[in-house]
Amino acid sequence: MTVKFELGLDSFGEVATDANGRVFSDAETVRLLVEEAQLAEAAGLDIFSVGEHYRAGHNDSSSPVLLAAIATATERIRLGTSVTVLSTNDPVRLYQEFSTVDAVSNGRAQLVLGRASATESFPLFGYDLADYEQLFEEKLELFMELQQKESVTWSGTVRAPLVNQTLHPRMREGGIPTWIGVGGSPNSVIRAARYGLPLMLAIIGGHPKRFAGHVELYHRALLEFGKPAGPVGQHSLGLVADTDEEARETWWRYWEPVVSALAAERGFYAPTRDRFEREIDDGALYVGSPDTVAGKIAESARDLSLGRFDLKYDIMHLPREARKRTIELLGGEVAPRLERLLAKEPANV
């Protein structure tokens, strides 16, 4: 049986601009996300996901509320998170929020759980970064028990114990699809395999093929833990336009100031046009015409044995029309091209 390759969109709720360069308000951006999810469904895409961030210009801090709003405005497209920072969420509350989203959406909810690369949520909610690993490990254990058991008794060091606790509304039997997001840590890969959870690779720089070792480790660990084979997905940034030149010029205009700010904040390399071009040609930026982007996704699918690819399409102040055009082209032109390419030379999923 051939498994359908899944193509989705990721948003971090980054503020858009209009055709005249006016910056949208936070509220306008939230409403735009609902419109874009509707457009993604109309374009035939499989998944629409939002992140979880706590900084100016990002409006995805309440992803369950956003997804519930999108659920009432759509009918088919699956709804998830590009990352949920489990370390600073309470697993009990998270279960209740996403069991509600799953009910509202008639079984379309899913999650990607991560430890957080942006750490603003730790001081915001009163957590210590020194507890980074322990917080995630204990909370993942509890969250999986809540999904898989009707009545849970649990104790740990990161929250109050539970005794024969049953939560409501109940999730569907077995819980909702839950992926582990990995930015590069082999320990996170092994953790995903230990729980038998799908693996989502966040690849935002360098050639994606450098993650092939992580995929091999994941499949080897699944066997060692006696778990069935699990899917691998990829999250990367990009934009689709009618021509390669238009896509490159548009993305550079908005990508450069974002990366410059991150370089100053985190010690990244300063962006240059040459490095930008190399990242498109031989790296992790999926920027170009439908032919170019489809070809690049197909290459990654084969290199990494992918079953899913999510394009993170919004970036600070990217115009609304460029965002919407990306969605239209990804579903209407990239998806059928990708299907043909993978039919000729399938990924080893």
The CATH number of the domain where 46 resides is what?
Answer: 3.20.20.30
Element containing residue 64 per DSSP (H, E): helix 63-73
Give a yes or no: residue 140 inside a domain.
Answer: no
Give a yes or no: residue 151 inside a domain.
Answer: no
Give a yes or no: residue 276 inside a domain.
Answer: yes
Give a yes or no: residue 331 inside a domain.
Answer: yes
Tens of pLDDT, residues 217-235: 999 999 999 999 999 999 9
Helix axes 290-304, 335-344, angle to 10 degrees: 40
Mean pLDDT over residues 201-209, rounded? 95
Give a yes or no: residue 160 inside a domain.
Answer: no
Give a yes or no: residue 326 inside a domain.
Answer: yes
Give a yes or no: residue 158 inside a domain.
Answer: no
Alpha helices in 225-331 (DSSP H): 244-266, 273-282, 290-304, 320-329
When mean pLDDT is compared across 113-117, 189-193, 207-211, 213-217, the lowest value belongs to 113-117
pLDDT of residue 1: 40
Buried/exposed code over 132-152 (b: 16+ C-beta within 10 A; e: otherwise): eeebbbbbbebbbbbbeeeeb
Give a yes or no: residue 161 inside a domain.
Answer: no
Q: Which domain holds residue 201?
A: 6-133+169-344
Tens of pLDDT, residues 270-300: 889 999 999 999 999 999 999 999 999 999 9
Structural domains counted in the chain: 1
pLDDT of residue 119: 83
